[in-house]
Amino acid sequence: MVTAGDFKNGVTIEFEGNIYQIIEFQHVKPGKGAAFVRTKLKNIKNGGVIEKSFRPTEKFNQARIERKDMQYLYSDGDLFNFMDAETYDQIALSADQIGDALKFVKENETVKVCSHNGEVFSVEPPLNVTLEVTETEPGVKGDTATGATKPAIVETGAQIMVPLFVNTGDMLLIDTRTGEYLKRV
């Protein structure tokens, strides 16, 4: 059990039948009246964000989120198949459960599969991935004096913005959280 007075960013709680992660919280002590805790909560199953206020003494069950390393095997239509590297158990997840988490993930890469009480709700890709550029326009030397960018398509089919000097066949390090180009490898 965790009380609203003990909230910290990143804590997951069960509230109104859903699982929420605390994004922001603020203890408020008005001049008149009782203190309260103003929070911004993210529903970790559907991604919705709500704002709620609680009394500091309100209690909530803390939700236990299990993150398991699994290998992404392949996609078969609307199903994405993963394998536990330790037990070799395989699971298939729907496109709704995955969202766009696999936008930068190649087959046979390791990802984290997140679940609560055995129910999988999301997949977390690695923070950074190395991918090859399969298609981009050639950069023209002397085209600009500042950091101009152009679109490029990487081997997973995702489109990112890259500097003008990047060419087809280059290997890039990409941040999967933002989809930004980090450097050439």
Domains of the chain: 2-62 (2.30.30.30), 66-124 (2.40.50.140), 128-184 (2.40.50.140)
Give the DSSP per-residue string, 39-58.
EEEEETTT--EEEEEE-TT-
pTM for this predicted structure = 0.72
- Residue 145 pLDDT class (50, 70, 90 cuts): low
User: Diameter of the chain by CA atoms?
Assistant: 66
d(CA 117, CA 16): 16
- Tell me, what amino acid is at 170? D
d(CA 16, CA 48): 14
- Using the predicted structure, report yes or no on whether residue 141 has a pLDDT greater than 80: no
d(CA 97, CA 93): 6
Position 144 scores a pLDDT of 58
